[in-house]
Chain A
Amino acid sequence: MSFLDRFQNKQSKNSQGVLNLTCTEDTVKDALRNVIDPDLNRDIVSLGFVTSIEILEGKVSVTIELTTPACPVKELLQKQCKEHIQNIPGIKEAVVTMTAQTRGAGIKPANIQKSLGQVKNLIAVASGKGGVGKSTTAVNLAFSLANSGAKVGLLDADVYGPSLTQMTKVGLPEKSVDGMLVPPVVDNVKIISIAMFNDKSKATILRGPMAAQIIKQFLSQVHWGELDYLIIDYPPGTGDIQLTISQLAPVTAAVIVTTPQEVALVDVRKAISMFDTLKVPILGVIETMSYFICDGCDKQHHLYGYGGGEKISNQFGIPVLANIPIEPKLVECSDKGTPIVISNKNNPAAAAYQKAGGECARHLSLLHLKNKDALTQFSLKWRP
């Protein structure tokens, strides 16, 4: 019998004697196997989320690494881990640390490698129609993800009607040593907009190729650094700029913004078909101006019709990420340049956007997991 065997033997005898069972890493792992990720339907141990386990005299410390810091079930998982560890006999204390390593898509083309090489996910925020609250959505998505601890950038690609400088009160970029622009930062979000280079009161009058050129610079000459998510605020419609961005940059996924009414949906379908043509997966729909709650009662008034996002969702099999209510405060915050998810966290619209951010991150993680062995593109010739 080796020394180790004898030691373990002695220990187990001891533990039987004084009812102090030895807790090993495996005991903790077995306990954590009861914690199931609700989206993936698998336990967090086999998913490889448990990155470290330390046991010290009745105290267990574990680290759980999720696929995104903005995971909507983070607190739930943390609570379950704690409970299951504390149920192990002899354990008095459980410390569960949640970290995240955002999953991202692979290699980027050489011309944008320097600028976007460390950007894990590029998310397009698009709509078929203007005036549906796309920029408001892009801004609040960005800040809600940053609120959850993710590294976020925001690119205003709406060259003809840039509004992000108004909505965030961002400063001007600096020129870095290697000739790249360094984006200014507001509340941990890096922002670049064409409005930073223009006279505010003057219209941007550009031919298509010029506008595309500017977008090209934003994608190749801005030092974005390491980012989990780069949110790109697309111009409305399905034209030149949209094509340029989607062809230049490997857009990971798109979020479609729509109001509930049918007129908006017609154009949403076009936007969806554009992304399909470009092979950009769609994460889901964010429905803005969904309902209005007046100060007289709690009833939801559907000023712009009902269920538009739902309709799109059913038709195309994509989820509704959030329904954003009509909120005077939301308009006020956008005009003042203080995003509602930062300045008025308890407002219903802020809560809805915070949820939207979590849902985006969650669906993106799932997308990466799914795409691991899914065919992204195929063509099958039928033999007669």
Chain B
Amino acid sequence: MNPYIGIKHIEQVDSKTLRILWTDDKVSLFDTVELRRLCPCASCVDEWSKRRTLKPENINESVRPVDIESVGQYAVQINYSDQHKTGIYTYKYLRELSLN
């Protein structure tokens, strides 16, 4: 991804959907429960093997973000209602996810 793509606008669509408008005018929609299951932090993904240690079924369908904050110029940090807030989702990662 072009490292200079940033976020133009970020908003909540419904109780669990996040919408991001990128500076190249692409739009991504994210299911935030799914994002929680795809958390890239070190307690959810083994740093060495890159294998996901977090089991998707352990994340309740009712989990929601509490707030979402920018990290530098490159990522967002999502603070979830299950007290989990170490996940830093880089723009690069989010763009990759939005392709699928």
Residues on A facing B (Cβ under 8 Å): 275-276, 279-282, 316-319, 363, 366-367, 369-371, 373-384
Which B residues touch A318, using CB under 8 A? 3, 74
**How many chain B residues touch the partner (CB < 8 A)?**
28
Residues on B facing A (Cβ under 8 Å): 1, 3-12, 15, 23, 32, 64-74, 90-92
A275 to B74, CA, bound (A): 11
A318 to B4, CA, bound (A): 9
Residue pairs across A and B with Cβ atoms less than 8 A apart, 24 shown, are A276-B71, A281-B74, A282-B72, A316-B74, A316-B90, A317-B3, A317-B74, A317-B91, A318-B3, A319-B3, A363-B4, A370-B4, A370-B5, A374-B6, A374-B8, A375-B9, A378-B7, A378-B69, A379-B67, A379-B69, A379-B70, A381-B67, A382-B64, A382-B66
Closest 10 CB pairs of A and B: A374-B6, A276-B72, A370-B4, A317-B92, A281-B73, A382-B65, A380-B68, A366-B4, A379-B69, A378-B70
Closest beta carbon of chain A to B64's beta carbon, Å: 6
Which A residues touch B10, using CB under 8 A? 375, 378, 380
B7 touching A374, Cβ below 8 Å: yes
A289 to B3, CA, bound (A): 25
Which A residues touch B90, using CB under 8 A? 316-317
Which B residues touch A319, using CB under 8 A? 3
A363 to B32, CA, bound (A): 32
Which A residues touch B7, using CB under 8 A? 374-375, 378
Closest beta carbon of chain B to A197's beta carbon, Å: 35
Known: A282-B72, A316-B90, A375-B9. A380 touches B67 (CB 8 A): yes
